Every structure is written in C-alpha cells, then in structure tokens.
Structure 1
Amino acid sequence: MSKIAVFFDAENVPAKTVPEIIAFLSTKGDILFQRAYADWSITNTKSWQTQITKTPITAIQQFHHNQEQAVDKAVMMDAIELAIKHEDIDIFALIASDNGYYSLSLRLRELGKRVIGIGEKGKCSPIWINSCNEFTYFQDLEEIDDDILLESESTKDSNDLEGFAVEKFLEKAFDSTPFYKDTNTVLLSQMWESILRLKPDFTVKDYGKKSAREFLMSFEDKFKISDDGKNQRTFFVEKIENRNSQRKTGVIKRRIGCYCIISADDKKGDYFFYRNEINPECKKEKLEKGMKVDFLVVKEPDLNAGKSKDKNGRATDLKIIK
C-alpha cells in the first residue's frame, strides 16, 4: 500500500473540504503525514482551527513578516526535506489553488515521488495542474457526512435507521478499498483497514459479533464473503450490486440527519434514502419534508419483518419532481 504525505496551504483551502479530501486520499493509500500551514493568528483561519480539533492534522505556524508567499515557501522546504528523508513515502498530496506550487510538484517528481494536486476549479492554472501526476478539484470530491453512523442523532427514529446507516458506512469502506488484482472483490483485511481509516474506534462488538467476517456476513443482501480454499484462508468481499430497475414516486416523510424516509405513493411501505445518493442533476436542491420525489428501488419494504428497521425498503438515485 502506498504511503502518503499531505500538505495543506490552509490560507487558500476551505476548511469544510478537509473531510472530503482525506476520504479521497485514503483510497490511494495510508496517510502518514498531514500538515496544514498558515498564520493562525489571522481571523480567517478560525474555521480551520475548528476543523483541526476533529482531524489529526499538524498545524504549522508561519508568520508573513511582510514577505510574499511565506506559507508557500514553508510548505516547499518541508515537503522537499520530507521527500529526501523518507524514501518510503510514495505520494505527496499538495492541497492548494496557488499556482506557485508547480515548481514544488516538478521537484518532487524529479525525486521519484507521485504528486496529487487538489485545488479550486477556476483558480488553478494549466501549469499547476499539468505539473502533477494527478489533479482533482474540491468541487468534484464526494460529499462526506460526519454523522453517517448517526452518532449525533438523538431522535426516537435513530434505532430504525441504525441498520441502514451501518450498510452505507460499509459500502463507503468497500468503495475506498482497492480491488484485488483483476477481480471485483477486495481483501477482507484491506476492507477492515478502510473501515478503521474512516472510523478508528469502530468495533464489531458493538453489534454483537466476534469477528469482521461474522459481522459482514450478517449483511448477506449487501456483501458476499468467499475464501481461497487454502488451510490459511484468505477472505474476499464482493459487493452485491442492485439490479432492480424499478422506479417509484413518493413524498419525503421525514428528514433525520443525513437520511430521509420516503412514503411511496403505492402505499406499500416506506423507503430509507441516504442523501448523498441523490441524482447528480438534483445535488444543489435542498430536500424538505413533503417534497415530491422519484426514486430507484434498491430493496422493497417487508411489512412482515420482525424488526421495525427491517420493514422499510431502500431507495437510491432520488430525483425531485417539480
């Protein structure tokens, strides 16, 4: 697995993009270094200071001293020093919209490092973009919800949503794990590493299970577990893709954290929906109670299920009907 060092020019990177950036880079390998540079005494870094209390990023203080690009120079010196001292670091991620970083990118590549650049669309010049091995924009990163497991949810409905929330969390971990060779499966051990990168304190004991394999097997409609048949078995995980092409209409019944509950027009039950699965054409729309929607059925409701959370169906690709 690749090892990554991440450098943020915090004076021109929105703090709100940090979770999305870290999630994106985590799919590339193991992040060993995370550093953010700024003059932390200035007022416009307050949102960053709040973010750093939740994310393990080392804050580096750099006063400007009436000189231009003081932060840029500090990032450049530290990145080159790290590249020379740590041969094991494969990837350097430079998070900035400042086009002056192209020279650092080229130097890192000369030292044999792969460079990933991330910046704001419309502000990054071709020379900065083309100096990187790979470049992406803040606006194109997948939105991350900190409350995906309902940790901050205290409503009476959270018990009903718990199973659905865990499913979405596991799907996210699977999607951030590299496929094994040329297959559509991932190694169970690597998927577990992805789970812990997303949530370091996650434990299957909270769900009454003894092992990661037993835990994932309890989501039999979402994941398939197999092994290589050897004495020291290696386990693989495959995600069962939805092949249901049926669409329905309904009304948003409730909003709970990053989820919605939809009441279908056919009166055959309710459907859970994770808001990040909204159709891209409707991403900018705010979902409200009572809103008319069209959605793709992932799983039909089972009104005869023993537990209330299992009675609800699953929905995706939600579109707003106007």
Structure 2
Amino acid sequence: MESESRLAVLIDGDNIPSAYVKEMMEEIAKYGNPTIKRIYGDWTKPFLSKWKNLLLENAITPIQQYGYTSGKNSTDSAMIIDAMDILYSGKVDGFCLVSSDSDFTRLATRLREAGMKVYGIGEKKTPEPFIVACDKFIYIEILANRAKESESSTTPDKPAKKPPVDKITPKVIRLIASTISDLADDDGWAFLGDVGSLLQKKQPNFDSRNYGFEKLTPLIDSIGKFEIDLRDSKQGKFKLIYVRNKKR
C-alpha cells in the first residue's frame, strides 16, 4: 500500500515558505511514512529564522550549507548529493522533493528511473519541466487554502474569505474527457479510480483541489458534460463510481 511506503522528504529551505509546514507534512503523510526529513539552507542567514522553531515541532533535521560562491546555489547541490546517497542506501521507497526550483528536474527524473516514486511540492510558479518530472506535484497554495479555511472555521465572527481557485478551462475539460475515452468500455463507462490515476500520469499537477473541490467526483459533476453512475461492489459493502462522456 502507498501509505506504507517509506519516504525521504528533502526541503529546499532557500525558496520554500515556512508558513504551511504543518499542512505540508500532513499532505505528505497521505502518500507514505516520512522516515527521513531534512531541510537544506544556510542557517546563518536571517531569512531562514522562521523555520527554526518549526523544525523541532515537525522533527525535520536542518542541514547547514554555506554559500561558498556568490551566485551559485550550493543548497541544490547538497540536496542532490544527499538524495543519491539515500537512493543507494535502499532505505526508502520514494522521495518528496519540496522546492519550486527547476534545478531539481534531472534529480526527479533520475530517481524515477531508479524505480522511486517522486512527489513534488512547490509554488504555482514552479517551472513545468520539474512538475512533469514528478509522479505527482502538489501546489503549496492548496495547502495554504486549507489552512485559511481552517482559520475561518475557528473564527466565526469574521466573514470567511473564499480562497482563490483555478478556473475549469476548456483544456481541463478536454483532458478529463479524453482520459475517460481512453479507459471506457464498449458503453463508454470508465471506473473513476482509473480515471484519476491516468489524469495524474498525464498531468502530475492535476488536483481537484486546485479547482476548489476536495474530490474528483464533485469536480466532474460540476462541469455538466459527464454522466456519473454509482454501482455496488461485488461484496456490496461500498459503491463504485463510474463516469462517461455525455453523448451529444
């Protein structure tokens, strides 16, 4: 099971905000057990001070990396070297690379070539090459939205501000429609679990939460171009969800 996977979490402290580290670690726990947690940066620099209290709370080990040369990112090099050491140690089943830096594209590709699952976490400004090099990529903005929703629920006196979400564009609809067609049986129906998995393979940053939906089913239902069918499982204990494109 995915939840039993051992993960190495490597955080680029130079370009990841510390504000949502709690939500980030909760997200990572969905995909496996983070047995190694390290953050890289030059801890003599004032801008990393916000991380310091959070490291103890989340059992993240800080790795000191001095900037020996102006203009060169030594943090990236340290992360890459450590990742390869961890890979060859055989102690993990996958990696979570937390960065918005495209310099980790080749690392993600190399880890996947070695049979590792690679999860990426970064801001929406993350370049496309790094995103597609991962098996799955999660935007920090999603985690920030979750934190804001939690805060608004605990402060009912304040009017809740709806977190900004991405628009469901015709391109997104075409992606979902083509994925359903790829998996459809003779009657056009496809199992939703398979649809979600293939969407992830086609577009690693595809996430229903980007569009304001916690799950894929309500996202697809909101579009109005797809049919949804609930079927009993063979054991009859739960429902299986199937979807198909509406006929024109």
Shared fold (TM-score, shorter chain, > 0.5) = yes
TM superposition shift of 1:22: 0.3
The answer for the alignment partner of 2:163 in structure 1 is: 283
Distance 1:99 1:260 in 2: 38
Structure 2 counterparts to residues 140-219 of structure 1, below 5 A:
140-141=142-143, 143-144=146-147
The answer for the alignment partner of 1:99 in structure 2 is: 102
Per the alignment, in what secondary structure is the counterpart of residue 7 of structure 1?
Answer: strand
TM superposition shift of 1:260: 4.2
Per the alignment, in what secondary structure is the counterpart of residue 72 of structure 1?
Answer: helix
Query: Aligned pair in 2 of structure 1 residues 17, 261: CA closer, same or farther (>3 Å)?
Result: closer
TM superposition shift of 1:283: 3.3
Distance 1:57 1:26 in 2: 14
Distance 1:283 1:102 in 2: 29
- The gaps in structure 1 that reach 5 residues or longer are 149-254, 263-274, 285-322
Per the alignment, in what secondary structure is the counterpart of residue 20 of structure 2?
Answer: helix
Greater RCO structure (CA 8 Å; 6+ sep): 2
Residue by residue over 1:165-221, the C-alpha shift from the partner in whole angstroms, topping out at 9 and shown as x without a partner, is xxxxxxxxxxxxxxxxxxxxxxxxxxxxxxxxxxxxxxxxxxxxxxxxxxxxxxxxx
Higher helix share: 2
The answer for the alignment partner of 1:138 in structure 2 is: 140
Distance 1:4 1:94 in 2: 10
Q: TM-score, normalised by structure 1?
A: 0.45
Q: TM-score, normalised by structure 2?
A: 0.58
Aligned with residue 65 of structure 1, among 63, 68, 80: 68
Residue by residue over 1:66-85, the C-alpha shift from the partner in whole angstroms, topping out at 9 and shown as x without a partner, is 15120000000001110110
Q: Aligned AA for 1:58?
A: T
Distance 1:80 1:48 in 2: 25
Distance 1:127 1:109 in 2: 14
Q: Aligned AA for 2:162?
A: C
Residue by residue over 1:118-154, the C-alpha shift from the partner in whole angstroms, topping out at 9 and shown as x without a partner, is 1111x21111111111111100125349xx8xxxxxx
Aligned with residue 83 of structure 1, among 72, 84, 87: 87
Contact between 1:19 and 1:144, CA under 8 Å: does it hold in 2?
Answer: no
The answer for the alignment partner of 1:13 in structure 2 is: 16
The answer for the alignment partner of 2:50 in structure 1 is: 47
Residue by residue over 1:36-92, the C-alpha shift from the partner in whole angstroms, topping out at 9 and shown as x without a partner, is 000000111010112213220000000011151200000000011101102x41220
Residue by residue over 1:7-38, the C-alpha shift from the partner in whole angstroms, topping out at 9 and shown as x without a partner, is 00001000112111101010111110100000
Distance 2:67 2:35 in 1: 28
Aligned with residue 127 of structure 2, among 125, 128, 152: 125
Q: Aligned AA for 1:283?
A: P
Query: Aligned pair in 2 of structure 1 residues 136, 42: CA closer, same or farther (>3 Å)?
Result: same
Per the alignment, in what secondary structure is the counterpart of residue 15 of structure 1?
Answer: coil
Determine which structure has more spread, i.e. the larger CA radius of gyration. 1
Moved over 6 A (4+): none
TM superposition shift of 1:261: 5.5
Q: Aligned AA for 2:113?
A: E
Per the alignment, in what secondary structure is the counterpart of residue 11 of structure 2?
Answer: strand
State the number of aligned residues.
158
Distance 1:57 1:19 in 2: 11
RMSD: 2.5
Q: Aligned AA for 2:94?
A: I
The answer for the alignment partner of 1:259 in structure 2 is: 154
Per the alignment, in what secondary structure is the counterpart of residue 282 of structure 1?
Answer: coil
Percent pairwise identity: 29
- Pick which of 35-44 and 47-56 moved more: 47-56
